[in-house]
Amino acid sequence: MGVRHNIIRPAASELPFAESLFDSPEFVARLIRVAQLWHYVLISRALVFVALAVLPGVAGFLDHPAQWLVMAAGLPCDIVLTVTGQAMRRPRPITQRRLRLLMTLCMALIALGSLLNAAAMFAAIAIPDGGAYFDAFTAIQIGSLLVAASAAAIVRPAFFTFAGATALGGAIGVASWPFGVAGLVFLGLLIVMMREDIRHQRRATRTARFRISDQQRALNLMRDFERAGRGWFWETDRYGQLVYISPTVAARLDRPLADVLGQPFTDIIRKRIGNDESEERTLGFSLSSRTPFKELTVQAAVPGAERWWSISGHPISNELGNFQGFRGSGTDLTDKKRSEREINQLARYDTLTGLANRRHITDLLERALKSHSGQPQPVALLLMDLDRFKAVNDTLGHPVGDQLLQQVAGRLTQIVGDKGQVGRLGGDEFQIVVPQMSQPEKLAGIANAIILSLAKPFAIEGEQVRIGSSLGIAVSDGQGVSASALVRNADLALYAAKDAGRGVYRFYADAMHNQASERKAIEDALREALVKDELKLLYQPIVDVGSERITGFEALIRWHHATEGLISPSKFIPIAEESNLIVPIGEWIIRTACASIALLGPGYRVAVNVSPRQFANEKLPATILSAVSAAGIRPEQLELEITEGVFLDESPENLAMFRKLKRTGVRLALDDFGTGYSALGYLKKAPFDKIKIDQSFVLGAADPGSMNAAIISSIVGLATALNMETTAEGVETHDDLALIRGLGCSHVQGYIYGKPMDLVEVLALLREGGGRVEANGYKSAREPRLTVFRTIQVASGGYRYEAIVRNMSSRGALVEGLWNVPPETPLVLEFGPDHVIDAEARWSHGNRVGVKFAVAVDIDTLIGSKAAAPTRARVRRAA
């Protein structure tokens, strides 16, 4: 919307022709002056009528009907004009117009009375003593006209001469005595009136002189103000064209002053598009409606530069109330605008990436949820965070991390384009608001493009940095969802994406809210579990390969809820990590394990897992010493299993914690070696006593063509060179055991030597075998499997995932697409819309999971059709 309008087009009643006839300032001023002196006419008429009524020689003059007609027409008009003249001294513009109309009407009536006087003069000839009557009529008419016309100073000497001659002629008998009396009266009145008029002129001259002095002073002040650059002034005519503007403004516009004058005022203001034009719309309305405006911020039409003004203006009118144009002032806001922009940039945008910050993106989301009329409208919100970003910060440093965030911001902005707004919430979290979009396929396209783009390597300081991203998507389809609810939904969807293995996106579903409520309920119940003694430890044997003697146990936590029954560690341990409950739970595990060691005797050790949150707790060494002392055991009987994730941060604090733990005397084991961010430097810096080989390398290691045997051999050789023990996890078959023994691994842990058992069963096992145990399991790791590639649905812990079956046997399968599934996690595999199979996770490596069916199935029947029922499997029909 532009700012040029038909802003000052004159109305029909204000055309120059009408103004020159009726509203001319000179005419009106003279008319007002005549009205202000009309009381002298009233006095002169009254005196003449009284004189003619009582003087001898003209008795009976007023008995004639024509004289009453003259009085009826003249005296009321004289009274009205006298009153009007006083009211015209300080009237409002609209009152002035009405009074001028009234004065004009009275003047017309007086003219009519003059005509009646003329008729009466001719009639007076027929009256006895008509000459006297004629003289009286003439005296009244001429005297009144003399007093009225004396307001015109140019004819005043002639009227004085005429009145003086008339009075003198009556005195010496040249003229009739009525003429002489009238002339004498009018001469006195003319002298009084002239004296008053001279006083009026003197007052007017003095006022004008002061006015000129005040104007000059104001003009000098204005010019000093302009030259100092503190502001400028402008004025337009009634047509909106500039008649004055400060020379400094013309200089800033890079135009001669003569070129600017005469141009429309709106030509010096740059037109803007969009929300920024609100001030220009206000300016256009004010100019069109001839209403004042104050401190409007507009952009100056300066070529090749950005300059801002604050302008104010008010309409001006002449003394008759006619609109004459606008007059106003302006100040330069360029420096202030620049400072405000910088402050606004800091307040609304992220300083590192230039993206909208949390406050601004939240404001944009709230505005996008409602139209300009306040009606809800569709909006999509994408919540994203980076995978493996912390590893980049920890290994390459925060400056590289900052550059990475900047490049991520650039890729996101390029992908989203003008379809939405990208914001950074902090750290590696980003939020994308996409208004007017709710179609899942379009949003999935944006999410896929982001995931693929951020999966490509980033080049930073000569290094290639690889990360990933996970996204949660929530959609408001115009049903009035609040901004906070939409953010919560997107956060739940992001949580589901991370739980699905990262590098994926998930749309919010109502079930996620239920899952979040379930997680909250589990968290609350977990807080009470320690008090209610619902947690317990199970122990799985760790056996020396050469002697087949039990050297120790790994403590595994289990939770038996009072009403929900057994809750899998894969379900409550992540919640304990998130809520930091893992710290008190970990302390309970250490104290309980130490108490169990005291019952096992001096020849056995117990290993407990230490989470990264526990490791970061500076009270951990003190807790360990307190537990060991309270149980009365040797410190080396307690073994702490620490995952590789702890070592990503090679900070002095981490290395100091290793030294403190080692000084307590406990043993340290590197858990799940080879599954994380392995680096040989960890083994050199951290004083480990044992390396645990993850079960993903052990399961199927004896299969022909498997590379796992070579990996295990390398790990064993490394541990031997560093004088460390090795424990192979997840050994289940005699073939795997023989391979492990042949590769030189020192210890074995797995179902072949026993499942996790409670302390009573452990003590019974030790009593029965005297610490020895025999291998008991299948000969082969698995029966021959059929290679397949089929998409299935997997349900676990209230969630549903899409996965791919890569190979199958009658008792198990390799499933791809599930990340970090703990062993013994119950799973439900959906091979068709009507049938599901119960299974259990045996091992997990990356996004691959080995599952074991509850009972054997017929492979040919199962994969031959989409919903074929297995012949030998326990199949549950879907609800």
Q: Which H or E element spans position 460?
A: strand 458-460
- Per-residue pLDDT for 807 more than 80? yes
For residues 236 and 650, which has the higher predicted lDDT (pLDDT)?
Answer: 236
Question: Of 803, 785, 793, 789, nearest to 844 (Cα)?
Answer: 803
Mean pLDDT within 22-35 = 61
- When mean pLDDT is compared across 433-442, 618-627, 677-686, the lowest value belongs to 677-686
HEC states along 817-829? CCCCCCCCCEEEE
Query: pLDDT digits over 290-301, tens only?
Result: 888 888 888 888
Question: Of 688, 707, 689, nearest to 698 (Cα)?
Answer: 707
Mean pLDDT within 740-747 = 92
Mean pLDDT within 416-439 = 90
**What is the per-residue pLDDT for 667?**
94
> HSE (CB half, 13 Å, CA atoms) of 856?
8
Residue 267 contacts residue 284 (beta carbons within 8 Å):
no
**What is the per-residue pLDDT for 695?**
84
Query: pLDDT digits over 330-378, tens only?
Result: 888 887 777 777 777 677 888 888 888 888 888 888 888 887 667 788 8
Mean pLDDT within 841-859 = 83
Cross-strand pairs, 293 = 313
- Residue 792 token pair: 């299935």
Going by pLDDT thresholds of 50, 70 and 90, the confidence category of residue 20 is: very low
- When mean pLDDT is compared across 121-125, 246-250, 737-741, 869-873, the lowest value belongs to 869-873
Helices then strands, counting H and E runs in the chain, come out as 29, 28
Residue 24: Cβ within 10 Å count:
14
Going by pLDDT thresholds of 50, 70 and 90, the confidence category of residue 138 is: low
* Helix, strand, coil percentages for the chain (3-state, nearest 5): 50, 25, 25
pTM over 0.95: no
How far is CA 842 from its chain centroid? 49
- Per-residue pLDDT for 69 more than 60? no
φ/ψ of residue 87, rounded to 5 = -70, -20
Residue 848 contacts residue 828 (beta carbons within 8 Å):
no
**What is the per-residue pLDDT for 152?**
47
Cross-strand pairs, 300 = 269
Mean pLDDT within 310-315 = 88
> HSE (CB half, 13 Å, CA atoms) of 557?
27
Classify residue 353 by burial, with Cβ atoms within 10 Å: 0-12, 13-18, 19+: buried
**What is the per-residue pLDDT for 854?**
84
Query: pLDDT digits over 564-585, tens only?
Result: 788 888 888 888 888 888 899 9
Residue 334 contacts residue 306 (beta carbons within 8 Å):
yes
- Per-residue pLDDT for 461 more than 60? yes
- Per-residue pLDDT for 130 more than 60? no
DSSP alpha helix (H) spans, 228-276: 247-252, 257-260
In the chain, the percentage of residues whose pLDDT exceeds 70 is 69
Mean pLDDT within 8-35 = 51
For the stretch 532-560, what's the b/e string if a residue is b when 16 or more beta carbons lie within 10 angstroms of its beta carbon? Answer: eebbebbbbbbbbbeebebbbbbbbbbbe
> HSE (CB half, 13 Å, CA atoms) of 348?
12
Calculate the average pLDDT of the chain: 77
- Per-residue pLDDT for 145 more than 70? no
φ/ψ of residue 272, rounded to 5 = -120, 165
Question: Of 544, 538, 663, 689, nearest to 603 (Cα)?
Answer: 544
- Per-residue pLDDT for 503 more than 70? yes
**What is the per-residue pLDDT for 627?**
95
Query: pLDDT digits over 758-790, tens only?
Result: 999 999 999 988 889 988 876 665 566 677 878
Residue 319: Cβ within 10 Å count:
10
For residues 274 and 86, which has the higher predicted lDDT (pLDDT)?
Answer: 86
Residue 776 contacts residue 752 (beta carbons within 8 Å):
yes
**What is the per-residue pLDDT for 144?**
56
**What is the per-residue pLDDT for 561?**
85
- When mean pLDDT is compared across 182-191, 232-241, 375-384, the lowest value belongs to 182-191
**What is the per-residue pLDDT for 696?**
80
- Per-residue pLDDT for 15 more than 50? no
**What is the per-residue pLDDT for 309?**
84
Mean pLDDT within 589-609 = 94
**What is the per-residue pLDDT for 622?**
93
Distant-in-sequence, close-in-space partners of 244: CB < 8 Å, separation ≥ 6: 233, 234, 235, 261
| SS3 assignment, position 145 | helix
Query: pLDDT digits over 35-47, tens only?
Result: 666 666 677 666 6
- Per-residue pLDDT for 810 more than 50? yes
| SS3 assignment, position 840 | strand
Going by pLDDT thresholds of 50, 70 and 90, the confidence category of residue 542 is: very high
Q: What is the DSSP string of 534-557?
A: -EEEEEEEEEETTT-BEEEEEEEE
Query: pLDDT digits over 622-652, tens only?
Result: 999 999 999 999 999 999 998 876 765 556 7
Going by pLDDT thresholds of 50, 70 and 90, the confidence category of residue 867 is: very low
Residue type at 415? I
